[in-house]
C-alpha cells in the first residue's frame, strides 16, 4: 500500500512578510500518516506549514510546502505511484492575485485585496484517478452537512468523504477530538462518536483498508 496524504494549511503570500492562511494544525493528516505507516504502508506526507515535527517512522517521507500551488505540484508528481490518496489539507480556496515584491506600506483607510481561486488539488487528481486507486476527502461543514459532503464526493471523484461537523462541540479546528461521519459513493453513511484524532485516524484507516481491492492470493 502506497499512500499520499496532504495535510495542514497552505500559506498564500501577499508580500515578503505576510500571507493568507488558516488555523489548521495538521494533526489529522499526521495522525493518518502514522496510522497508515503502522499498517505497513509507504506514506508520502505533503504538509503545509505546521508546528508538528516530521513523523519519525522510516515509512513516512515528509515533503514541506507553503502554497496550494506547491502542494499541487508535489501531489501531482507522486499521485500515479500511490494507490490511496487522502486529502486532509485545509487548502486556501483563494490566493492574492498579485504578490507584492516589497512590503505593502500602510496608506489609505481601506485596503482592497484581489484574490483569485486556487487550484483544487483533490478535484484535479480526481480527473486522473485510475479504477484501482482509492481517494479520501474531507469536508468541514456547518449546514446541510451530508448534502454538501456528498456534492464534494461527486465533484472530486472521492470514494469516501470524511464529514466533520462544526456543530458538534469539541470537533474541528483547534481541538484534539473530532466527530466524523463517513459517506460513500454507494450511499453508505457511517456515524462515529466524538473521539481523539488518533482514534479517528484509526477508524478512517480501518475503513479504507476494508474497501481496498484485495490483492490476489
Ligand atoms: N481540497 C483540495 N484543494 C483545494 C480545496 C480543497 O484538495 N483547493 C480538498 C480538501 O483537502 C478536502 C476537500 O477538498 O479533502 C474538501 O475541501 P473543502 O474546503 O471542504 O471544500 P471546497 O471544495 O473548498 O468547498 P468549500 O470550502 O466552499 O466548502
Ligand atoms: Ca475550501
Task: Report how many domains make up the chain.
Answer: 1
Its domain, for residue 39, covers: 2-95+114-210
151, containing H or E segment: helix 145-155
Q: How far apart are CA 117 and CA 124, in angstroms?
A: 14
What's the whole-model pTM score?
Answer: 0.95
**Which tens digit of pLDDT belongs to each residue from 37-51?**
999 999 999 999 999
Q: Is 83 a catalytic residue?
A: no
Q: What is the distance in A from the centroid of ligand 1 to the CA of 215?
A: 31
At 213, the pLDDT band (50, 70, 90 cuts) reads: confident
Residue 42: the pLDDT is: 98
Indicate which residue's Cα is closest to atom 14 of ligand 1. 122
> In this structure, which ligand is nearest to the CA of 137?
1
Q: What is the distance in A from the centroid of ligand 2 to the CA of 92?
A: 6
Closest-lying ligand 1 atom to the alpha carbon of residue 88 = 11
Residue 35 domain-assigned (yes or no): yes
Residue 202 domain-assigned (yes or no): yes
The mean predicted confidence, pLDDT, of the chain is: 94
Residue 184 domain-assigned (yes or no): yes
Cβ(163)–Cβ(184) under 8 Å?
no
Residue 107 domain-assigned (yes or no): no
Residue 204 domain-assigned (yes or no): yes
Closest-lying ligand 1 atom to the alpha carbon of residue 136 = 15
Q: How far apart are CA 80 and CA 90, in angstroms?
A: 22
Residue 101 domain-assigned (yes or no): no
Residue 27 domain-assigned (yes or no): yes
Query: Do β-strands 42-47 and 115-117 pair in parallel, antiparallel, or remain unpaired?
Result: unpaired
Residue 50 domain-assigned (yes or no): yes
Q: Which SS3 state, helix, strand or coil, does residue 120 take?
A: coil
Mean pLDDT value across residues 165-180: 73
Q: Which SS3 state, helix, strand or coil, does residue 49 take?
A: coil
**Bigger pLDDT: 168 or 110?**
110
Q: What is the distance in A from the centroid of ligand 1 to the CA of 91?
A: 7
216 pLDDT higher than 60: no
CATH value at residue 47: 3.40.50.10300
Q: What is the distance in A from the centroid of ligand 2 to the CA of 80?
A: 24
Pocket probe for ligand 1: among 26, 138, 140, 155, the residue whose CB has the most ligand atoms within 8 Å is: 138
Interface confidence, given as ipTM, is: 0.99
Amino acid at each position: 500500500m502506497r499512500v499520499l496524504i496532504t495535510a495542514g494549511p497552505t500559506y498564500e503570500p501577499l508580500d515578503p512578510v505576510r500571507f493568507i492562511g488558516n488555523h489548521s494544525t495538521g494533526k489529522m493528516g499526521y495522525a493518518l500518516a502514522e496510522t497508515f505507516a503502522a499498517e505497513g504502508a509507504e506514506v508520502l506526507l505533503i504538509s503545509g506549514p505546521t508546528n508538528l515535527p516530521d513523523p519519525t517512522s522510516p515509512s513516512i517521507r515528509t515533503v514541506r510546502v507553503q502554497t496550494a500551488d506547491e502542494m499541487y505540484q508535489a501531489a501531482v508528481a507522486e499521485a500515479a505511484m500511490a494507490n490511496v490518496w487522502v486529502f486532509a489539507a485545509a487548502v486556501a480556496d483563494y490566493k492574492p492575485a498579485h504578490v507584492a515584491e516589497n512590503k505593502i506600506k500602510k496608506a489609505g483607510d481601506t485596503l482592497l485585496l484581489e484574490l483569485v481561486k486556487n487550484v483544487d488539488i483533490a478535484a484535479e487528481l480526481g480527473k486522473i484517478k485510475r479504477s484501482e486507486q482509492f481517494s479520501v476527502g474531507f469536508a468541514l461543514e456547518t449546514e446541510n452537512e451530508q448534502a454538501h459532503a456528498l456534492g464534494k464526493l461527486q465533484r472530486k471523484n472521492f470514494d469516501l468523504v470524511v464529514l466533520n461537523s462544526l456543530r458538534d462541540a469539541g470537533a474541528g479546528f483547534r481541538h484534539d477530538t473530532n466527530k466524523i461521519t463517513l459517506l460513500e459513493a454507494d450511499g453508505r453513511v457511517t456515524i462515529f462518536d466524538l473521539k481523539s484524532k488518533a482514534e479517528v485516524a484509526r477508524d478512517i484507516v480501518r475503513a479504507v483498508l476494508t474497501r481496498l481491492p484485495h490483492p490476489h492470493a
